[in-house]
Amino acid sequence: MLLDFNDCNDSGLLKHAKRELAAIDALEDWPIYRDIIAVFSSQGHSGGSASCVIPTLNKLLNYQPLSPITSSPEEWMEVDEGKMWQNKRKGTSFSVDAGKTWYDIEDPEKKNWPESKN
């Protein structure tokens, strides 16, 4: 879908975003955000629907899974022949047994890390 930016230039969300970028002296970054904000604004979200869409969109943009990862072989790719697998849905999760068990390198408590990683 091509969006005509002239149709949404008066969007309150676009005005807010531009004003906030100006407040932190980052207007040179405006083109980076304008298109994404214009598309979101053009969808006509209410406060309720936006509060549901934004967290999901944030996860997707950060390559995060929307549901828990599993031990399904389709979710794991071998990254070191016979020694290490990485989850395709959550790139920070690794396994030493083809996805039967795994650990996440972003886990501050290091739960499930193999002994050699502790």
One domain, residues 55 and 81? no
Can you give the residue range of the structural domain that contains 95? 73-117
One domain, residues 10 and 53? yes
Output 98 or 8, whichever has higher pLDDT. Answer: 98
One domain, residues 10 and 52? yes
Q: Is residue 11 part of a domain?
A: yes
Mean per-residue pLDDT over the chain, rounded: 87
Q: pTM score, two decimals?
A: 0.70
Q: Is residue 90 part of a domain?
A: yes
Report pLDDT for 107.
82
One domain, residues 40 and 81? no
> Under a CB-based contact definition with an 8 Å cutoff, are residues 94 and 87 in contact?
yes
3-state helix, strand, coil in the chain (%, to 5): 45, 10, 45
Q: Is the pLDDT of residue 118 over 50?
A: no
DSSP, residue by residue, 20-75: HHHHTT-GGGHHHHHHHHHHHHHTT--HHHHHHHHHHHHHHHTT--SS-----GGG
Which tens digits make up the pLDDT trace of 55-101? 999 999 999 999 999 999 999 999 999 999 999 999 999 999 999 99
Q: Is residue 108 part of a domain?
A: yes
Percentage, residues of the chain above pLDDT 70: 85
Q: Is residue 56 part of a domain?
A: yes
First to last CA, the chain: 49
| The total number of structural domains that make up the chain | 2
